[in-house]
Structure 1
Amino acid sequence: MLRLRGCILVRLLSSPATSQAPPLHRPLSAAAVSPNPSFVAHDYLVSTCGLTRAQALKASAKLSHLKSPAKPDAVLAFLAGLGLSAADVAALVAKDPLFLCASVEKTLGPVAIELAGLGLSHSEIARLIPLSFVHFRSRSIVSKLRYYLPLLGSSENLFRVLKKGYLAGADIEGTVKPNVALLRQCGLDDCNITKLSLAKGGVLSSKPERVRVMVACAEGLGVPRGSGMFRHALDAVGFLGEEKIAAKVAYLKKTFRWSDAEVSIALRMAPCVLRKSKELLQRRSDFLISEVGLEPSYIAERSIIINYKLEGRMKPRYYVVKFLMENGLLKCNPGYYYTAFKVREKVFVEKFISPHTEVAPHLAEDYATACEGVVPARFRFT
């Protein structure tokens, strides 16, 4: 850690003229050693930062007050010292031109040093800059990450959540902490809060009132707080609102021929079906009810199967089980279909294909063909 911090001090707080950091590309190296008394922001953004003419035209308006390249040169040397690529630098400057005006000595360098003190490596700090943009040039980013890192469990989780685009600028005290407190009251531990944040990027940065509505909608599905399914219920309802949820529930009832009680059971078992498109739900209903012959109540109690892939999983396995039943190799029991749909591929092969290699040597080949979307002749039942 001391070695890393020393490296940052030497390489990032040095002036551009004495910095040992590698240049981003040739124009940056030349700019660092050659004074330019007639500084033109637009030309600098194109030749030194790698922006397109259109990007530079838009960005240069925010840099019109600069009279020399001294401060931008220092910032570019700082970024090069961290190892950012030319493409990353160009993207950063295009989105946040004022980053070139930040003080390396007073802001960027100290922020990098404090982040290293939180345990972030040299490369992780480099990854953080394109994810936080404007927020990296504020010292408050350090206190935010001091809270986020233990909550999210790892820097990798942090980066994944930051990619959602919300968390870096969120109000910790007024927004994030109240939301975390509410989610914990609902029985979610930090691990589940992290998973929910990865699925719903804005959950921690949204207004607490919106998160309370989300919690109420999840409870409205009949999933109790503290249950292992509550995170999935929160993920399913998201920020849809009561009207959209009610419309989706009505569609589920119509499509799967469910009663109020049955749709309630289905959503408690697999709340994520709320996120499925109408087309997908209709195709699952046509297959499970019309083709396989499962009863609506049976599906409601095992609604997780609605999430399984139709072409690559359920249909090929259905053909295998149907073939075994038709040929007297398996009892005619609808329960076998559910078992076949839910087990892992290895278990399915061991249970439904391997025991019949002698009497049905073609079964494995036919199954593989069906998985590719082609129905073999032996799987065409009349």
Structure 2
Amino acid sequence: MLRLRSCVLTHLLSSPTYPLHRLLSAALPAAVSPSPRFAVEDYLVDTCGLTRAHALKASAKLSHLKSPAKPDAVLAFLTGLGLSGAEVAAKVASDPRVLCAGVERTLSPVVAGLTGLGLSRPEIARFVQLAGCSFRCRFVVPRLHYYLHLFGSFENLLRLLRVNSYLLQSDLDRVIKPNAVLLRECGIAPADIAKLCIGVPRLLITNPKTLRTMVACAEGLGVPRGSRMFRHALHAVKFLNKEKVAAKVEHLKKTFRWSDAEARLAVCKCPMVLTRSKEMLQRKYELLVSEVGLEPAYIACRPVILCYSLEGRLRPRCYVLKFLKENGLVDRDWNYNTIFKLTDKLFVEKFICPHREAAPYLAEDYDAACRGEVPSSFRST
């Protein structure tokens, strides 16, 4: 009998028509059935608080997860740092693989390092939300140490990370440090380096050769290194070559009928005029020169006027002054540059409030003009 059973078993195992897995599964006890598959997408929705769309996208990066053990530990850790449910959800949505990070091996040492740099628990929580995938990398601590010294404060660093989280992933020795040295050589202070990088997010992480070209281009405008305008000059010529900068200067000359000397003066005093579009410059010319009657040379000496909002500042204030003159409500000729420089609060106090009785609708009409409307009282008759 034993010999017969052995022959039958040998036959079944060698038979190509009999699936081996059926034989083996039949021999297993019912209690050893495989556990249900871990549903990553449902976990992201039900436990992490992601929307179904975000969970579907994030789950593709977590398909290897077989259980909630590690994600549960990460969620508890993030919550312990002070992140709210919504903040945890946003963190997981932006960096799903954070759920795979080892708490004891990676996240805890990183937080200990950040604490050693002098960051408080709330500051660490804010940093976690902006650090992207760098938070789960140990190299983030020495890099953060460098950036805190470079930018002068934690707040400056946070402002920059809001527009460029890739800063933490860039090569310090080959890219960031050479660029920072060059900016310091240009006389740009740490706080101003932060401001410049907020306006030009890719500035520090760009190829050092490219940055040197930008510095040379800014100097070519006639703005010397060390001047308070040099930061603005760098911003104005960002990632442009000399030919494109020359074309912008030529357009300014043509639009405002400036001489070479007037154009150079305007650009040196306010390099940001180079960032204004051709259409906007033309519209400002029509208002300031054609309608108001300002001389092109006057604007060349005060080019910051061209950087003010046309609809939110220049046009409404021109309307008000014209109205006051036509109705005999001003007793002297005001300098338009002074009028344009005033804060909105001061402008209202000086030019609107004193005329409430003589012109009771002036404030309302001014507000309408700031919204882009032209009240009948401001229309030419």
Is the Cα–Cα contact under 8 Å of residues 311 and 371 in structure 1 kept in the other structure?
no
- Structure 1 distance, partners of 2:57, 2:376, is 63
Task: Show the counterpart of 1:255.
Answer: 255
Q: Which amino acid aligns with 1:96?
A: D
Q: Which amino acid aligns with 1:337?
A: Y
- Structure 1 distance, partners of 2:322, 2:52, is 64
Task: Show the counterpart of 2:44.
Answer: 45
Q: Which amino acid aligns with 1:203?
A: L
SS at match of 1:63: coil
Task: Show the counterpart of 2:27.
Answer: none
Task: Show the counterpart of 1:116.
Answer: 115
Q: Flag the 1:310–1:43 CA change in 2: closer, same or farther, 3 A.
A: closer
Does 1:171 find its partner at 2:171? yes
- Structure 2 distance, partners of 1:332, 1:121, is 57
- Structure 2 distance, partners of 1:293, 1:135, is 56
SS at match of 1:188: coil
Counting only pairs closer than 5 Å after superposition, residues 1-382 of structure 1 correspond to structure 2 as: 38-165=37-164, 166-323=166-323, 325=325, 336-345=335-344, 347-348=346-347, 361-363=357-359, 365-366=361-362, 368-373=364-369, 379-380=378-379
Q: Which amino acid aligns with 1:369?
A: D
Q: Flag the 1:327–1:164 CA change in 2: closer, same or farther, 3 A.
A: closer
- Structure 1 distance, partners of 2:234, 2:87, is 35
For structure 1, the 5+ residue unaligned runs are 1-35
Q: Flag the 1:287–1:172 CA change in 2: closer, same or farther, 3 A.
A: same
Task: Show the counterpart of 1:10.
Answer: none
Q: Flag the 1:209–1:381 CA change in 2: closer, same or farther, 3 A.
A: same
Q: Which amino acid aligns with 2:281?
A: L
Q: Flag the 1:113–1:148 CA change in 2: closer, same or farther, 3 A.
A: same
Q: Flag the 1:178–1:364 CA change in 2: closer, same or farther, 3 A.
A: farther
- Structure 2 distance, partners of 1:243, 1:141, is 40
Is the Cα–Cα contact under 8 Å of residues 42 and 60 in structure 1 kept in the other structure?
yes
- Structure 2 distance, partners of 1:306, 1:269, is 12
Which of 99-108 and 271-280 deviates more?
271-280
SS at match of 1:49: coil
Higher CA-based Rg: 2
Is the Cα–Cα contact under 8 Å of residues 312 and 372 in structure 1 kept in the other structure?
no
Deviations 1:215-260 (A, max 9, x none): 1221122111111111111122222333432332232222212222
- Structure 2 distance, partners of 1:188, 1:222, is 17
Q: Flag the 1:378–1:52 CA change in 2: closer, same or farther, 3 A.
A: closer
Q: CA RMSD in A?
A: 2.8
TM-score by length of 1: 0.80
Q: Which amino acid aligns with 2:254?
A: K
- Structure 2 distance, partners of 1:89, 1:294, is 56
Q: Flag the 1:68–1:179 CA change in 2: closer, same or farther, 3 A.
A: same
Q: Which amino acid aligns with 1:309?
A: S
Q: Flag the 1:91–1:370 CA change in 2: closer, same or farther, 3 A.
A: closer
- Structure 2 distance, partners of 1:299, 1:133, is 45
- Structure 1 distance, partners of 2:60, 2:361, is 65
Task: Show the counterpart of 2:18.
Answer: none
Is the Cα–Cα contact under 8 Å of residues 313 and 371 in structure 1 kept in the other structure?
no
How far 1:68 sits from its partner (Å)? 2.8
How far 1:325 sits from its partner (Å)? 4.8
Is the Cα–Cα contact under 8 Å of residues 151 and 190 in structure 1 kept in the other structure?
yes
Q: Flag the 1:108–1:308 CA change in 2: closer, same or farther, 3 A.
A: same
Is the Cα–Cα contact under 8 Å of residues 325 and 332 in structure 1 kept in the other structure?
no
How far 1:52 sits from its partner (Å)? 4.3
Q: Which amino acid aligns with 2:188?
A: L
- Structure 2 distance, partners of 1:371, 1:286, is 22
For structure 2, the 5+ residue unaligned runs are 1-34
Q: Flag the 1:307–1:364 CA change in 2: closer, same or farther, 3 A.
A: farther
- Structure 2 distance, partners of 1:364, 1:222, is 49
- Structure 1 distance, partners of 2:322, 2:64, is 76
Is the Cα–Cα contact under 8 Å of residues 156 and 191 in structure 2 kept in the other structure?
no
SS at match of 1:370: helix
Q: Flag the 1:377–1:207 CA change in 2: closer, same or farther, 3 A.
A: same
Q: Which amino acid aligns with 1:100?
A: L
Is the Cα–Cα contact under 8 Å of residues 107 and 138 in structure 1 kept in the other structure?
yes
Deviations 1:167-225 (A, max 9, x none): 12121221111111101111111121121122222211222112112212211221111
- Structure 2 distance, partners of 1:341, 1:40, is 61
SS at match of 1:62: coil
Deviations 1:287-346 (A, max 9, x none): 01100111212211111111223333333433444455556776886x722332223345
Q: Flag the 1:97–1:294 CA change in 2: closer, same or farther, 3 A.
A: same
- Between the two proteins, the alignment pairs up a number of residues equal to 343
- Structure 2 distance, partners of 1:288, 1:249, is 19
Q: Flag the 1:346–1:129 CA change in 2: closer, same or farther, 3 A.
A: closer
- Structure 2 distance, partners of 1:378, 1:95, is 52
